[in-house]
Amino acid sequence: MTSAPRGASGAPAGSERLGLLVLAVILVGLTLRSPIVGVPPVLGAISAELAFSSTTAALLTSMPLLAFALLSPAVPQLMRRLGVDLTLLLCLMLLGAAILLRPWVGAAGLLLGTLAVGAAITMGNVVIPVLVRRDAGEKVPQVMAASTSAYGLGQAVAAGVAVPVAVHAGWRWAISLPGVFVVLALVVWVLRMRVVGGAGSSGLTTGRPASGAAGSSGASPAPGPIPGPGAGARAEAGGAVWREPGAWWLAVFFGMQSLLFYTGATWMPAQLVESGGLSEATAGTALSIFHLIGIAGTLLVPSMLRISGDARIIGAGIGAGWFLFFAGLQTVPELWPLLMVLGGLVQGAGIGLSLTLIAMRPVDLTFGRQLSGMVQGVGYAISATGPVLVGVIHEATRSWWWGTGMLLLCSSVMAAAAWQAGRSTPLGPEPCPDA
């Protein structure tokens, strides 16, 4: 029986490499949201035992976002030192340790452990778009869709099992369960590093995967042209990403998407219990549906880009969908099954489109590292305010109306930002001839 073809260096052939990449990013994707979204369904139990106020409880969701904001700009430098592959390995090791330890070390330890979870996920957030851009060839949208679909699956499992596990074994075991995903991802990632080898592991390559023709300024973006090596060096040395207007628009779009998602995931169960009369178990089921339907939203992104050809229209539509979701949650909570489908579709499509734009719009991989760190740093700084602000507003007013108004405004800002964030023009310094 003939083995799969391999290159002269012993590395697996292209299809095998792509298969390992897809498996790895799916398993890593299962770990990058589940440790956060598994907490809201059991916030009541945690708050009761540890005497947390609503604001302190919201920190358990917002602290990872704060870590994303503060640390994302530093991850590109870590990738320069360790390479893409080792940075992701470090991410998984830290994440596993933090998830498994944080429930068992008291209130302060829970908060610090949650911050460590955020630090680890920050690395994965920034690395994955760079890794996919480096290794996925022409399949960047499809591989990013697979990765972000795994976010939704991990979220759905974590949210769906949290309450039943907490009832039978306690909330500590409930929020430890995502550690299983981390162990699986760690095993597969180490295997991939051994099988594929060190080729390209530094992530410093400036070449791009093959791409289709770029469209007009409104068309969906394709990876940018190959620059001279000096262009990437100038991008990093001069901090060009911070002077790029398109990067700021992308950061606003990403930030609003993340704010709407994390604020909704944090407070939606409580709002459904208070305003919709649902039991905590049913509200947890609603949250699980919200996350599970997100998989479909994510998988629709490549098809929507192919059919529409204009990421701006898709992004604006996602913002409008968020507006309808939060308006419906406040005014007709009895329609929660339909609202969970709508919310799931827009949150999945929103994160899928955001990460696809981060992967595809940079002019090269060097600028792409900087863009991924900058957009996610600024974006998560924006999003970290959402759960806390809504918690403070609700605690002060004993009503969800004012918080909902804030979220409707953010939905509108997201739709407006999409018209710049979704342009097809490559982001980064123009290449120039090398001497």
Q: What integer pLDDT is reported at residue 293 of this predicted model? A: 92
Mean pLDDT value of segment 383-410:
92
Predicted confidence at residue 221, as pLDDT, reads 53
DSSP 327-391: HHHHH-GGGHHHHHHHHHHHHHHHHHHHHHHHHHSBSSHHHHHHHHHHHHHHHHHHHHHHHHHHH
237: pLDDT strictly greater than 80:
no
pLDDT in tens, 271-303: 999 988 888 888 888 988 998 898 899 889 989
Instruction: Give the model confidence (pLDDT) of 95-117 as tens digits.
Output: 999 999 999 998 999 999 999 99
pLDDT, averaged across the chain: 84
Q: Is the dihedral of CA 192, 194, 195, 199 positive or negative?
A: positive
Question: DSSP state, 217?
Answer: T
Residue 151: its pLDDT value, please?
87
Which CATH number describes the domain made up of 15-198+243-421?
A: 1.20.1250.20
> What integer is the mean pLDDT of 121-132?
92
Q: Is 42 helix (H, G, I), strand (E, B) or coil?
A: helix
Which pLDDT value is given to residue 4? 38
| Between 133 and 212, the higher pLDDT residue | 133
Q: Encode pLDDT of 150-173 as tens digits.
A: 988 898 888 888 889 999 999 999
Domains of the chain: which residue ranges?
A: 15-198+243-421
62-86 mean pLDDT: 89
